[in-house]
Chain A
Amino acid sequence: MAETITIEVARYRPEQEGEPTFQSYEVPFSKDWVVLDALNYIKDHLDGSLSFRWSCRMGVCGSCGMTVNGEPKLTCATFLSHYSPGPIRVEPLQNFPVVRDLVIEMTDFLEKLQSVKPWIVRKDDPAPAEGEFLQTPEELDEFKQFSMCINCMICYAACPVYGLDPQFIGPAAIALAQRYNLDSRDQGEQERLDVLSQHEGIWGCTFVGECTEVCPKNVDPAGAIQQYKLAATKDWFKSFLMPWSKP
């Protein structure tokens, strides 16, 4: 079994160079090491200047998304042994501007996420004394899958439409909007429609389906988007054919 494995890491230091370069490192190979372990080994022992994001190292925080051998992955969930004997190429997440090394600029995603109001929206405002909202297991089942999103943006890296048109709201944001639309406690569907039904909101999606393929939490954002298209279309026809009905 190999003792070490080569990791080719994308480096980008704007104060030094105008274009990204690659730097190779030899890291110890262990069957239970993931790519994140290798990156941390590099930072701890070989090259302290390497910059990358990580946190929980167990696939729930969504911080460590990067491109590994061309595929968007959570580096804490990607084993070195999968790519043995290597080399393994690690690059920043696609479709986002690169700030430094493996760190990408994610403000665009955060703004889009906020624009879809990913929280319970109520028209009324019942006092806590009136009691909790009750929800049956069936009602929970309607949106549970979409609530599993950890905002890792791997779906954005896989989505060719987002890469081509930065105005596209993107898989995760739409899936989370749908998560709240389907929540029986929520009353904000119309408010979200105003944002999402705009030209680039959801209509840029051509159902490539790659977002669902790469999602590490099986959220199926592609499914959420198609459901949303159908709901938005029904709503459009309703407002067109029955403009007097209350939204």
Chain B
Amino acid sequence: MANRSNEPLLWALFSGGGVAAAFLIPILFFLYGLAFPLGWLQPPDYERTLDLVRHPLARLALFLLCFLSLFHWAHRFRFTLYDGLQIKHLDPVINLFCYGGAVTGTVAAAYLLWTLP
């Protein structure tokens, strides 16, 4: 079998991230970005929020959301930079910025979710 590239893995992460982001982010963005700050709906208070997020399933779900969404962005933005700005020759820098950024965010998410009070 000839040497195949590892793009399929990155595409799989991009796809998983696309699904996760599509299902979960619109409603969360609407609530926390608009409805709660503008007073359309009453947000859960600190204790309630902590209770919800502490649950192991919630932590897992939020971690997966962060991890997959960030890799979705990384993959898509990388190609946007290639085709939009025509800077494909800066490939190594772009990869470092995009996937490096995604890894950083994922590590941060893992740390924050693991060390919740």
Contact = CB atoms under 8 A, between A and B. Distances in A.
A and B touch in the complex (CB under 8 A): yes
Interface in A4-49: none
A204 B7 CA distance: 10
A236 B79 contact: no
Contacts of B2: 194
Interface residues of B, number: 17
Interface in B8-46: 8-9, 11-12, 15
Interface string A183-209: 000000010011001110001101000
Contact of B8 (A164, A206, A236): A236
Given A206-B83, A233-B12, A236-B4, 11 more contacts: A161-B83, A165-B88, A197-B7, A198-B4, A199-B7, A203-B11, A233-B8, A237-B8, A237-B12, A239-B4, A247-B1
A229 B11 contact: yes
Top 8 A-B pairs ranked by shortest CB distance? A236-B8, A203-B7, A194-B2, A233-B8, A199-B5, A197-B4, A206-B79, A233-B12
A170 to B, nearest CB: 15
Given A164-B82, A233-B12, A194 B1 contact: yes
By secondary structure, the A interface counts as helix
Interface string B67-84: 000000000100110110
Interface string A225-238: 00001001101110
Nearest to A235: B8
B115 interface: no
Contacts of A229: 8, 11
B49 interface: no
A160 interface: yes
Contacts of A164: 82-83, 86, 88
Contacts of B76: 206
Max count, chain A CB within 10 A of own CB: residue among B4, B5, B80, B82 = B4
B75 to A, nearest CB: 10
Contacts of A204: 79
A194 B1 CA distance: 7
Interface of A: 160-161, 164-165, 190, 193-194, 197-199, 203-204, 206, 229, 232-233, 235-237, 239, 247
Given A161-B83, A203-B11, A197 B5 contact: yes
Nearest to A163: B83
A160 B83 contact: yes
B5 A233 contact: no
Contacts of B8: 197, 229, 232-233, 235-237
Contacts of B79: 204, 206
22 contacts: A160-B83, A161-B83, A164-B82, A164-B88, A194-B1, A197-B4, A197-B5, A197-B7, A197-B8, A198-B4, A199-B7, A203-B11, A206-B76, A229-B8, A229-B11, A233-B12, A236-B8, A237-B8, A237-B12, A239-B1, A239-B4, A247-B1
B92 to A, nearest CB: 14
A193 B1 CA distance: 10
Contacts of B9: 236
B82 A194 contact: no
